[in-house]
């Protein structure tokens, strides 16, 4: 079996987890020039063409979303502040 080159291709599907009007109607991913992105789409109407349906898109690098969800690491100065606990605990 040969490997499929997915460069400059993507797809998205109906978002079954949509809970609010601000959540996208469609979710998926796309590869642009070898870099992976998350793809989101919202159904809208084009007022210039008598409310013809259209999909508005948003693209976000996959690594950017992973960095946002990762917990922040404490700096050495912040870690030093945690050593100020009172050690006179009777147990």
Nearest to 57 by CA among 19, 20, 12: 12
- Give the pLDDT of residue 52: 85
Per-residue pLDDT at 3 exceeds 90: no
Where does residue 36 fall: left (phi above 0), alpha (psi -120 to 50 degrees), or beta otherwise? beta
Report residue 55 as tokens.
Answer: 């999909």
Cβ atoms of 28 and 13 within 8 Å: the answer is yes
- Give the pLDDT of residue 89: 63
Per-residue pLDDT at 25 exceeds 60: yes
Per-residue pLDDT at 49 exceeds 70: yes
- Give the pLDDT of residue 80: 56
User: Which residue carries 């079954």 as its tokens?
Assistant: 16
CA distance 62 to 67: 9
Per-residue pLDDT at 4 exceeds 60: yes
Averaged pLDDT, 60-78: 68
- Give the pLDDT of residue 76: 60
CA distance 13 to 74: 38
């Amino acid at each position: 079996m040969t490997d499929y080159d997915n460069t400059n291709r993507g797809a998205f599907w109906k978002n079954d987890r949509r809970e609010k009007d601000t959540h996208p109607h469609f979710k998926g991913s796309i590869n642009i020039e070898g870099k992976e992105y998350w793809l989101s789409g919202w159904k809208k109407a084009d007022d210039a063409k008598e409310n013809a349906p259209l999909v508005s898109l948003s693209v976000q690098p996959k690594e950017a979303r992973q960095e946002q969800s990762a917990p922040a690491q404490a700096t050495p100065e912040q870690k030093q502040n945690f050593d100020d606990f009172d050690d006179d605990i009777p147990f």
